[in-house]
């Protein structure tokens, strides 16, 4: 870990709808995330954690406030700029994997690798090997377990070697054992690097493996605390 800041959010506010249907998903949120940290955004349903993750990932613009991430001022970016930021700087992992069912594991990863530089086959293979799927590369998503599919989606995020990985409920659709394996994998890909991982979860057990835990409630940060000695994911169960 370094002291450099990976993500800096200032007075971030996000509202949906207007008038009677207006919902304040985020209210004046300010925080810093240093590079190399494993950060957990925790909160109940509707607390604003996915909205916050989407703000960091430039998936939608804020209503007000600023987000700086890995050298990008997200507020100043148009659609093409936000796409470029996501391509170069962010790897996403979603709860339901969202793999392309007509592409093999290898091709799902290769699709992103092709967009981000040369040496595509080597990088694709390396990404899949790093998630333990060297022998499942030619399988289609429909032929793989949920855990395997989630590992493919992690490899898809990793193949462009982004400084930031954003994971939205990555274990939400998995059983405990498989979920633990996925967390270990996420932990492994940050250890010894400057890569930052932000994980959204409502599972309090997962907070024990994080360096930093940000608690959200009703769109506000109610607590931020640091774990001086995070647990190894293999010791976590739910």
The site for another protein (CB under 8 A) is made up of: 45-46, 50-51, 54, 57, 59-60, 79-80, 83-84, 86-88, 90-92, 94-96, 98, 100-104, 107, 110-112, 114-116, 140-143, 156-157, 160, 168-169, 172, 200
> Which residue is it, tokens 């070697």?
161
The structure tokens listed for 141 are 């998503």
Residue 26 or 214: which CB sits closer to another protein? 26
Q: Dump the DSSP string for 173-212.
A: TS-HHHHHHHHHHHHHTTTTSS-EEEEEES-GGGGGG-SE
Residue 167 or 214: which CB sits closer to another protein? 167
Residue 8 or 88: which CB sits closer to another protein? 88
CB atoms within 10 A of CB 73: 13
Tell me the closest approach of the beta carbon of residue 164 to another protein, in angstroms. Answer: 12
| Angle, helix 146-158 to helix 120-130, in steps of 10 degrees | 140
Tell me the closest approach of the beta carbon of residue 226 to another protein, in angstroms. Answer: 26
The structure tokens listed for 95 are 């709860």
Residue 115 or 226: which CB sits closer to another protein? 115
């Amino acid at each position: 870990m370094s002291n450099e800041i990976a993500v800096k959010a200032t007075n971030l506010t996000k509202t949906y709808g207007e008038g009677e249907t207006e919902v304040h998903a985020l209210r004046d949120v300010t925080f810093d995330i240093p590079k190399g940290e494993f950060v957990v955004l925790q909160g109940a349903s509707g607390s604003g954690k996915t909205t916050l993750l989407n703000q960091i990932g430039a998936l939608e613009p804020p209503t007000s406030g600023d987000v700086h991430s890995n050298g990008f001022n997200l507020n100043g970016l148009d659609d093409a700029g936000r796409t470029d930021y996501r391509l170069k700087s962010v790897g996403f992992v979603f709860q339901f994997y969202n793999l392309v069912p007509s592409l093999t594991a290898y091709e799902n990863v290769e699709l992103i690798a092709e967009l981000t530089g040369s040496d595509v086959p080597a990088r694709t293979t390396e990404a899949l090997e790093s998630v333990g799927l060297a022998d499942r590369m030619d399988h289609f998503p429909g032929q793989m377990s949920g855990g395997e599919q989630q590992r493919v989606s992690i490899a898809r995020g990793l193949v462009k070697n982004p400084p930031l990985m954003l994971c939205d409920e990555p274990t939400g659709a998995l059983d405990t054992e498989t979920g633990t394996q996925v967390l270990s994998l996420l932990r492994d890909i940050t250890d010894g690097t400057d890569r930052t991982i932000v994980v959204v979860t409502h599972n309090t057990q997962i907070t024990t493996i994080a360096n930093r835990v940000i608690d959200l409630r009703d769109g506000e940060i109610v607590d931020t605390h640091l774990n001086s000695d995070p647990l190894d994911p293999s010791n976590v169960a739910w």
